[in-house]
Amino acid sequence: MTATLQGKRALVTGGSRGIGAAIVRRLAQDGADVALTYVSRAEQAEEIAAAARGTGVKSVAIQADSGDIKSLVAAVQRTVSELESLDILVNNAGVALIAPFDEYRLEDFDRTVAVNIRSVFVATQAAVRYMHSGGRIINIGSCNADRMPFQGGSVYAMSKAALVGLVKGLARDLGPRGITVNNIQPGPVDTEMNPAEGDFADGMRKLMAIPRYAQADEIASMVAWLAGPEAAFVTGASLSIDGGFTA
């Protein structure tokens, strides 16, 4: 444990698996108390929280659908109640609903906007009420905000591109309060949702300068850096960690 985040309290949305789970583990290893939200798989979420507690920090798993405003705000409030404050918010929860444009369902459009964009606004607005100078807002976007190389991903790309503008505006809004706001844009990451040996993996690797999928821990490392003291002067940025996908 490096303890660079000792005494900090964090909330990671969608923290029960994949990139989110890796972020929870890394923040805990660095000394932060961590709450995480999940939609289903309560046992899996509790395992992640238990592993975090095994490093000596507080951790709690909270059932909350990021597409549900009341549920999400309640999760922020419970985090503050359980951990006694909130210093770091990682807006990680997201959905990727891919379909041909002519067949794209309006309900899938609305779900994408609700989880990938609206939840970031809602959670951030709720969280900053409890944050002081030194607070960190970190969003998990996507390299698809800058490059969408396959068909069917227009709505997903739109939702991630929206975070770029939101981060720039929020950096101005919250900078005077000493709170930084940044966006991380991963490329292909080896997770359950997008395995490195999946149907599309070979095609993705051909688009990259480093022809491999990232590990979730590599994304978590950038989150930990943005959450820590060395990134205090970084705000309004969208930082790619994509193996050259957008190069």
Copy the structure tokens of residue 182. 């940044």
Q: How many CB atoms lie within 10 A of CB 40?
A: 10
240/245 Cα distance (integer angstroms): 9
Q: Which residues form the catalytic set?
A: 156
> How would you classify the pairing of strands 59-63 and 9-12?
unpaired
169/175 Cα distance (integer angstroms): 10
114 Cβ contact list (under 8 Å, min separation 6): 66, 67
What separation in angstroms does the CA of 176 have from each of 48, 80, 173? 35, 23, 7
139/148 Cα distance (integer angstroms): 19
